[in-house]
Each structure stands twice: as structure tokens, then as C-alpha cells.
Amino acid sequence: MFIPASYSLAVVLCVITMLCWGSWANTQKLASKTWPFPLFYWDYAIGIILLTLIFGFTLGSSGEAGRPFLEDLAQGEQSSFVSAFIGGVIFNIANLLIVAAIDVAGMAVAFPVGIGIALVLGVIVNYMATPVGDPILLFIGVALVALAIIVDALAYRKLSSKQASTPTKGILLSLAGGILMGFFYRFVAASVSTDFSNPEPGLFTPYSAVFVFSIGIFVSNFLWNTYFMYKPIKGEAVSYADYFKRGDLRLHAIGILGGVIWCIGMSLSMIASEKAGFAISYGLGQGATMVAAAWGVFIWKEFADAPKGTNRYINLMFLFFIVGLALIIFSRG
């Protein structure tokens, strides 16, 4: 199977992860305004599973190192299946809660609270489990990326200055989503052998672990996403019939593409973890917030009519992000 030969290549894979995690949401923007997010999310989950199978039967089954995809799945212990599956269940509800928080309270609350907590908590949890890298450089870098997220929120606050107050529900949703998002990666990582060339019996290689993780996402969708379909935090309720009646081939393809893009990032993050360590892989990936902000600034022109002084926040945000990212990378060197 494909395994990165060096830390430098692992960093490149982590940067691709960051780009993918920060870009998949653009597919939702491309979907029709009449296509509610819970319906889009079914196609998104399908796209995740499809990508894991494509990677499993190609990158995960080529070469002489490691175990082929199907052989690796067959030898996995029950504990490995359960851990990776639970990771998918936790990620799914965390992702849906953060999306709901954005709907209720806006990006200015959901991103600094939800993604900020997920970034810091996720790095701490994964570093404690597998301490790889210089902790001082790593955590200073994480702190700067978290600060960049806060500055990003201040910029969005100026953009949405009409919002007089923040709903308590939005804060609570962000807190819950952020805490859960900080733990999902550890469950998947716990099912993965730290030696990919000669993987430990009973544990998975990254390709099998991410596939089981994707099954956890899809199966839990029947619980979590069904709830948001019929009891939405905001907007209209939708049914399973709406998925077939209101969606055309284009809308379904866009949703599947969103899942494929996100899962490319997740797969590469896990593949990079042997050389980079789980904490660094996760920390770099969660810099995706800044990638999403870049899409908003340069492509979607979300700040074109922003009040005077907003550009100062944008420039400061990217400065903190770039320096923080560099420190996280050098923490392993």
C-alpha cells in the first residue's frame, strides 16, 4: 500500500487535508437554495464511503508494504472495528451540531467556539495518546491557529454587525459540536497501527480504518440526520420522500463530490500520521478554517461590502495562521 516515505511528504499530505477540509463546504454553496442541508448531507455521506473504497482498492492494495485492503479488514479485531465505527458516529453528530450552530448564531460564534475547541482539544488528546513532536512548538502553533480563528470571527462579526445578540442555543450547539469534534479523530487513530509497513495484528492500516469510520458516519445518519430532517434547528422540516422528489442528478452529484473532497482529506491525514504523528496530522488539518475563510474572502467575495477596518482583521488572521502552521510543522522536525 502507499505509505509516505518522509516527514516532508507527510506534511504535504496534511496540507492537502487542510485544503480539502476547508473546501468541501463550497459544494453546499453550489447546491440549490431549495435543497436543504440534511438532504445534501445524505449524498455527502455516500461520497465519503465511495472515496474510502476507491482508496482502499487502489492506494491501499498496491505495493508490497503493509497489508492489502481486504486482507487488513478481515484480520481486524472487534475492538478496532468498534473504535473506528464510534469515531464516525461522533464525527457525524459533531459536524451536524456545528452546522446547526452556524445556522442559529452565525460563523462568528460557531467557528471560534466550535472549531477552536475542536482544534485545541483534539491536539491535546491525540498528543497525550501518542506524544510525537516538540510540545512547546506544537502548542504555541496550535494557540496561534486558534487565535487566527478568533480574529476570523471578529471579521465576520463586523460583516454581520446587524446581529445584536447571540442566541444561547447557538453557543450551546457550538460547545457541544466542538467538544465532540475534538474526540472523533482519537477513536479512529486508536484503531490504526503506528507501523504501516509491518502493521500490528488486529489493528488496521489507515485505509481500512477510514472505511470503517465512513460506515459509522453513514449508519449514524439514520439517527442524527433523520432527527435534523424532521426536527430542524432552523428552517423547514423535510422527509425521505423529499430526497427523491426534490433532488436531481446535479444536486446528488454535488453532495457526493462534497463527501469525496472531505474524505480525501481524512484519508490523507491518517496516511500521514505515521511520519507526522496523530496530533500534528489533526492540528494541521483543522487549519481548514482559514482555508474556508480564504474561499470567502477571495472567491465568494463575502467581505466586499464589509465595514472599514475589516481588512485589518483579515490580514492579522492570515498572519497568525501562517506562523502557527509553520510552528506545527517544525515541531516534528
pLDDT in tens, 269-323: 999 999 999 999 999 998 888 888 888 888 878 777 778 888 899 899 999 999 9
Q: In whole angstroms, what is the distance from residue 319 CA to residue 133 CA?
A: 23
pLDDT of amino acid 170: 83
Altogether, the residues listed in the chain come to a count of 333
Full DSSP string of 117-129: HHHHHHHHHHHHH
Whole-angstrom distance, CA of residue 309 vs CA of residue 4: 43
The torsion angle over the Cα atoms of residues 104, 96, 256 and 36, rounded to 10 degrees, is -40
CB 283 within 8 A of CB 122: yes
Judge whether 138 and 328 are in contact, CB under 8 Å. yes
> Which residues lie closer than 8 Å to 80 by C-beta, 6 or more apart?
191, 202, 203, 204, 209, 212
Q: In whole angstroms, what is the distance from residue 173 CA to residue 201 CA? A: 39
What is the model's pLDDT at position 168?
A: 83
| In contact, 134 and 100? CB cutoff 8 Å | no
Low-confidence ranges of the chain (pLDDT < 50): none
Q: Check residue 161 and give its pLDDT.
A: 62
Phi, psi of 204 (to 5 degrees): -100, 160
Residue in the structure block whose three cell numbers are 496540507: 15
C-alpha cell at 305: 461590502
pLDDT at residue number 99: 85
For helices 206-230 and 249-276, give the axis angle rounded to 10 degrees.
140
pLDDT computed for residue 102 by the predictor: 80
**What CA–CA distances, in Å, run from 143 to 18, 131, 255, 312, 326?**
17, 18, 33, 20, 12
Amino acid identity, position 204: F
Predicted pLDDT at 211: 98
